Structure 1
C-alpha cells in the first residue's frame, strides 16, 4: 500500500475514515464517490503527495482530532457564521500546506476560507457547490484571490429560483478573481447580466460556460472593451430575450453555443462580424433565433467566408 498512487472508492453510506490513514499518505489521485457532510480528518492534511482529490460536496478542516473546536458541534449551538469565525481563528495557528495539490472538488462555501486556500498554493482546478443553507458564507468568493495559480473554476448553486436573500446577489469585483483564470463555469447563480462586464475584463479567460440560469434577466447589452481572450462561450437555459453585441466585444471568439434559450429572439448581427468565428450551435432555441443564425451564415458566405459552420438542433 505504501507505493499506491491512485485510489478510487465508492461508499453507499458513510465514508470509511481509515482511507486517510498513514497507509495511504503517498496517494496522488484520490477519488471518492460518496457524500460526506462532515469534516475531513486531520490525516488528510498530511497527504503531502496528493495532487487530485474528488469528494462529493465535502467540508475541509485543519483542526486536529484532539485539539481545536469541532465546527459541526459549534454550528449546532451557535450557528454556522459564528462557527466559521472560530474556525478561522484556530486555523491561523494550524496552517499546513499541500504543495502538490492541483485539483479539488467538490467543496462547500464553509471551506472556502483564506487559510484553506493559502494551504493550496498550486491549485489549478476547483469546484464549489452551494445551496440556500450556505447563505451565511456569501463572502467566500472574495477569497479566490488567494489561489494565484487557479485556471479552472466551476461554481454551482443548487436552485436558481430560491429567494434572493438566500443566494448570492452579484459577482464580486474583478479584482478578487484569480488573474490566471482561463476556464469558468457558473450554474444556478442567477446573476444580473450587467455583471458580465466584470467577467469581460478577466485578462486570460478563454472558456465561459453559463448553465441553468447562471445569469438571469430579459436583456443583456454587452459593454466595455469585451473579452480579450475568450474563444468559447456557452449560454444555457435562461430567460434572456434581447442580446445586444457587436464585433468588438468578442474579438477572439471561435465557438458560440446557445442551449435551451427559447425566449431569445435573435443572435446579435454583430456576432457575424467576428473575424475568428468558426462555429455557432443552437439547441432548443426559438425559430427566430435559429433564423438569425442562418442569416449570419449566409452573410458570411456572401463575403467569401466558408469557414463558418452553423448547427441547429
Structure 2
C-alpha cells in the first residue's frame, strides 16, 4: 500500500517528533496530509493513470523527507550525549527503522577507526568520512551494496581493500570509470592503487590522478580485455616513491616516464605485445630494479641484455614469448641475477647465450620449454659445453601434467 511509505516514515522517527518545537510539528502535519491522501489514492491508483502520477510524486516526497530527517537525527547524534559513535550504536539496535538511513555525513568528527555499525546500514547510499582521522577502511565495506559515493578526502586512508570493487552502485553515467578514477586523485595519501578493467579512454583521467599521489608505492593496472590498449604516457613524471609496477594489457610502447622511475624495484608486464626492437631499453638503467617479469609481453625473435645493464636485477622471468628464439647475455650484464625463469617460450632451442656470465645465478627454471632445449642442456651437463652451466646449483625442469607443473631437477 502506498500509505505504508508514510506510516513507516512516521514510526521511524516517532521518538524524535515529541516535544521538539514548531518545525517538527509542521513535519508531523505534513505526514498526516500525506497519509490521508494516500489512503484514498490506494483505492483509485490502478484505474486512474493521472492519479498514479500524483501517488508517485507523494511517495518520492516521503522518501526525500526521510533523507532530510536522516540528517536531522545525525546532527542530534553529533551534538548530544554519547556523540556520533553512541548514536550509531543506537541505530544498530533499533532494527529496520533507522537502518533505512541513506545518507551519513561524519565529516569533521574525531573518528580514528571505521565504525562497525556503519556496515549494518544496508540502504546507505552516501557516506562522507571527510576530514576525520580515519586510517583504514575494513573489508566489510563490501556489505554496503547500495553505496554510491564514498568521500575520504583529507583522511589518513592510504589503502583501499579489494572489497571496494564489490560496490557497483555508481551514478548512472556512461563514464563511471572516469568518475571513480578522478576521485582516486583526491586520496592523496594512497600508497597502493589497483585499477581493474581499465578502458583506453579513461587512461588520461587515471594519469591525472596518479600525478597527485605523491606517496604512491605500488601501482597495478589491468585492462578490461586483453587487446585493450593501456596508454600511460599522459603521466608527465612517475610518483617518485613508486616501487612496484604491474601493467596487464596491450602496450603500444612502454610509458616514456619509466626510465625516471628510479625507485622501482619490481616491474611486471603481462599481455603487453611490445614490438619495439629493444623493449629492454627503458628498464635497463633503473638503479634499484630487482625483479622483472615479462609474460606474453614481447613479440620478437631476440632479447639482448647489454653489457653493464640491469646492475641490481636478482630475478628475471620470461614467459609465453611465442616468437622468441634467442636470448643473449653480454658480459657484465645482470651481475647479481640469482633466479632465471624461462616458461613456455616454444621456439627457444638453447639456453641464453652468455649464461656463463651470470656467475651468481642460483636457480635456472625451465617450465614448458621445448624438448630440443632440454636435450641439449642434458648433453651440456654430461660433457659437451658443461662449463656454460656448471656454476648453476639448481636446474629445474617443469612439465605441465594434470593441471599442475611436475618438476624434476638436472644435475
TM-score per shorter chain, which class? 0.5 to 0.7
Question: What is the deviation of 1:285?
Answer: 0.9
* Match among 121, 127, 134 for residue 26 of structure 1: 134
Distance 1:170 1:250 in 2: 23
Question: What is the deviation of 1:50?
Answer: 1.4
CA contact (8 A) 1:197 1:223 kept: no
SS at match of 2:267: strand
Distance 2:241 2:158 in 1: 14
Higher strand share: 1
Distance 1:303 1:283 in 2: 20
Aligned twin of 1:162: none
SS at match of 2:282: helix
CA contact (8 A) 2:226 2:271 kept: no
Distance 1:22 1:247 in 2: 54
SS at match of 1:205: coil
SS at match of 1:53: coil
Higher RCO by CA contacts (8 Å cutoff, separation 6 or greater): 1
* TM-score normalised by length of structure 2: 0.54
What do the CA deviations read for 1:163-197 (whole angstroms, capped 9, x no partner)? xxxx4322233555521111011111111252122
The RMSD of aligned alpha carbons is 4.4
Distance 1:49 1:200 in 2: 36
* Match among 172, 184, 189 for residue 255 of structure 2: 172
Question: What is the deviation of 1:223?
Answer: 3.7
Size of the aligned set, in residue pairs, is: 271
Aligned twin of 2:152: 44
Higher helix share: 2
* TM-score normalised by length of structure 1: 0.68
Distance 1:18 1:267 in 2: 58
SS at match of 1:171: coil
**Structure of higher CA gyration radius:** 2
* Match among 283, 290, 300 for residue 199 of structure 1: 283
Q: Is 1:263 aligned to residue 350 of structure 2?
A: no
What do the CA deviations read for 1:146-168 (whole angstroms, capped 9, x no partner)? 311000011111xxxxxxxxx43
Aligned twin of 1:61: none
CA contact (8 A) 1:245 1:268 kept: yes
Gaps of 5+ in 1: 59-64, 158-166
Q: Is 1:4 aligned to residue 94 of structure 2?
A: no
Distance 2:137 2:164 in 1: 17
Distance 2:376 2:125 in 1: 56
CA contact (8 A) 2:305 2:330 kept: no
Moved more, 15-24 or 109-118: 15-24
Question: What is the deviation of 1:239?
Answer: 0.8
Aligned twin of 1:147: 239
Distance 2:259 2:389 in 1: 43
Question: What is the deviation of 1:279?
Answer: 0.4
SS at match of 1:269: coil
SS at match of 1:145: coil
